[in-house]
Chain A
Amino acid sequence: MQILENIRLAFSSILANKMRALLTMLGIIIGISAVITITTIGSSIQKTLTNTFNSMGSMNFFEIYSTFDWEKAEPDEDGNYNWEWQEDDRLSREMLDELIQTYPEYFSMNLTDSYGSSTLLNWQDQSMSVNINGVLNFEHMQGLEPELLSGRGISYQDNANRKQTIVVSDLFVSQYFAPDADPLGQAVTLDLQTGQAEDFVIVGVYEMPEAYAKQAYQPGMKELEKVTPVYVPLDTMMYLLRQEDNYRYWADIYYNPEYDVAMQEQLLKDFFNEQYEKAEKPYMTIDVMNMQEQMGMINAVVNVVTIAISVIAAISLIVGGVGVMNIMLVSITERTKEIGIRKALGAQNRSIRMQFVTEAILICLIGGIIGIISGILNGMIIGYVAKAVITNMYPEEASMFAITVQPSVIAMLISVVFSILTGVFFGYYPANKAAKMNPIDALRYD
């Protein structure tokens, strides 16, 4: 009952000195705002990483890069390393295939390549198009984990035998075929970039993942305007298009999470070093990036930065709290007479104490809430600027990053609690001083 009255009193007292209250709150606002900003950024980074990796499917893979091995290389007589990048310094298909064949229980991979789009005519002679993707198999399809509805996926055999097979989406089936037609075994003619037309036989139909549809198709798009990815054997495409380049800079090698990851990483390095020895390129090696480890490291860095900023913010809160204490001392001195009147009217010491502690808490709480709001705004602005920058700089990859701005709810709750605690801690001493005033002296005060 008296609590509501105290809150009302505290509000009217704060409103009577708006500027003073705002300046007093500044330390609290800055402290809380800093914490919320950094935790918003931190939790957004973590959320973005999680979303991104989730959309990429399994995270149990190494990203390997071919690289020059400075330790093994010998400088010339002038002490310079004369190394120019040779096309065949990169990872060859033979090496990669041999890796999978040598360690089938540990490693698996999929190589993908995009072959642009092809326009075709459906059963009603209406025009529609597809995106052609070459794949080695139907696993580890980054960014898209399509599930087969019927038939089978693309297989190693399809690749090895240069089979002209194709896996299409359920959306494609409804676009291309008459209702109730059985797509399996039907041939689809694709126009390849070189102008040649090739027939591919449908061996499987996958379900269009919702996440992909949401990202790729605008609402209100006509059914036939929706371009769906279709999958064909990578090696078949290379053969048809007479692509000679059989090398890549990097590849994603999936490891078996049931075995020790470090062991598999070492195995991978040894294997490629040996391969490069055999190819008479001992100066070459690979860099291995463990995606899970990477994410863990980013999270660790984010956590350290968050803690560091929080410590600085805590100092700001202490400074802010001292400011609150100071202003409360001024306030009770100004209101000595009022305190005397209240005591004469029968206010108990604890009522007076509660009144001023409530006021201190309210100042801190308002400061805290302003801080939280400004922190969320800061975090969001930074998040969206980062999103815009990334989208501008890497328009292709941006679709892979599910950038998510998400304020940390826990940080907000902790901030509210901390604001209240600051109010209690720094408000208690002045409030107690007010409570213990001698009523006669207080009444006589002018």
Chain B
Amino acid sequence: MRKTVISMKDIIKKYYIGKPNELQILHGISLDIQEGEFVSIVGQSGSGKSTLMNIIGALDRPTDGSYFLNGADISTLDDAELSRIRNKEIGFVFQTFNLIPRTNAIKNVEMPMMYAGIPKKQRLERTMELLEIVGMSERANHQPNELSGGQKQRVAIARAMANKPSLLLADEPTGALDSKTGRMIMDLFHKLHQEEHTTIVLITHSQELAQETQRMITISDGSIIADTGVKSHADS
């Protein structure tokens, strides 16, 4: 029996609550993602997929509804506990890489482990292992401004994997890359999924990329309008 990583029920997100310009972005999203799944969430801009990503990534709390991440009720946690969840359970990969400037690849990859309080020696071992996996060992001592876009994204993926998160959350990871390097990054995700059995949630506006994944969830106007996963899950 596979573990449920994400369990969302009737998630609602509203902004400017109680004000005349109150805005509801998510209209009751319910979804379950199992361990080891490679899921894509697709939607046009303005569909609410970024808001959903923020909630999945424990960067934000839902206005209503319940969200369990690995059994922890995210909607009731305070800021410090959310930080801990982001640190241990979630690995972020961003469209714009978001490496810390003036800080070399090693230090960037080490950062989540540093915040987790892992001793320096262990940190360094794990960092070198991760850089090996993403094929960046050669450039371990380079700073972000000395790396190409694809290289930066590979370092970012290594960083996201640092604390062996339950979930790798990638927000348009190929959006800032040319198609060739974008392809390499997608291949890396497939490799992590197959070899490391990482649970991956890929957020994208591209149908083409989404179709590569096992399961495709389409959202529009803050609601799920299609989910191929139910079928594929049933198949397996």
How many chain A residues touch the partner (CB < 8 A)?
23
A414 within 8 A of B: no
Known: A1-B120, A16-B102, A349-B79. A344 touches B115 (CB 8 A): no
B101 within 8 A of A: yes
Of the stretches B3-11, B84-92, B129-137, B200-208, the one at the interface is B84-92
Using C-beta atoms within 8 Å of the partner chain, give the interface range for chain B. 20 to 34
Assess whether B101 is in contact with A345, with CB atoms less than 8 Å apart.
no
Assess whether B115 is in contact with A345, with CB atoms less than 8 Å apart.
yes
Nearest chain-A residue to B84 (Cβ)?
Answer: A346
Known: A1-B117, A12-B103, A16-B102. A346 touches B88 (CB 8 A): yes
Assess whether B103 is in contact with A349, with CB atoms less than 8 Å apart.
no
Closest-CB distance, B218 to chain A (whole angstroms): 23
Of the stretches A51-59, A226-234, A283-291, A334-342, the one at the interface is A334-342
Q: Which residues of A are found within 8 Å of B88, using beta-carbon distances?
A: 346
Which chain A residues numbered 2 to 56 have a C-beta less than 8 Å away from chain B? 2, 5, 9, 12-13, 16
Nearest chain-B residue to A346 (Cβ)?
Answer: B87
Q: Which residues of B are found within 8 Å of A351, using beta-carbon distances?
A: 115
Closest-CB distance, B112 to chain A (whole angstroms): 5
What is the bound-complex CA distance between A376 and B103, given in angstroms? 36
Closest-CB distance, B108 to chain A (whole angstroms): 9
Assess whether A440 is in contact with B59, with CB atoms less than 8 Å apart.
yes
A443 within 8 A of B: yes
Nearest chain-A residue to B60 (Cβ)?
Answer: A440
Which chain B residues numbered 61 to 119 have a C-beta less than 8 Å away from chain A? 79-80, 83-88, 92, 94, 98-103, 111-112, 114-117, 119
Residue among B54, B102, B116 making CB contact with A346, cutoff 8 Å: B116
Which chain A residues numbered 319 to 347 have a C-beta less than 8 Å away from chain B? 337-338, 340-347
Assess whether B60 is in contact with A348, with CB atoms less than 8 Å apart.
no
What is the bound-complex CA distance between A13 and B115, given in angstroms? 19
Assess whether A342 is in contact with B100, with CB atoms less than 8 Å apart.
yes
Residue among B59, B102, B114 making CB contact with A439, cutoff 8 Å: B59
Assess whether A2 is in contact with B114, with CB atoms less than 8 Å apart.
yes
Assess whether A345 is in contact with B159, with CB atoms less than 8 Å apart.
yes
B43 within 8 A of A: no
B57 within 8 A of A: yes
Nearest chain-A residue to B102 (Cβ)?
Answer: A12
Closest-CB distance, A115 to chain B (whole angstroms): 77
Q: Which residues of A are found within 8 Å of B99, using beta-carbon distances?
A: 341
What is the bound-complex CA distance between A5 and B57, given in angstroms? 26
Which chain A residues numbered 125 to 161 have a C-beta less than 8 Å away from chain B? none
Q: Which residues of A are found within 8 Å of B94, using beta-carbon distances?
A: 443
Closest-CB distance, A5 to chain B (whole angstroms): 6
Question: Which of the listed residues B86, B99, B159 has the most CB atoms from chain A within 10 Å of its own CB?
Answer: B86
Nearest chain-A residue to B79 (Cβ)?
Answer: A349
Nearest chain-B residue to A338 (Cβ)?
Answer: B100
Taking beta carbons and an 8 Å cutoff, which residues of A are in contact with B?
1-2, 5, 9, 12-13, 16, 337-338, 340-349, 351, 439-440, 443
What are 18 A-B contacts defined by CB distance under 8 Å? A1-B120, A12-B102, A13-B102, A16-B102, A341-B99, A341-B100, A342-B115, A344-B86, A345-B111, A346-B84, A346-B86, A346-B87, A348-B80, A349-B80, A439-B59, A440-B60, A443-B59, A443-B94
- Shortest beta-carbon contacts, A-B, top 6: A346-B87, A346-B86, A341-B98, A345-B112, A346-B115, A348-B83
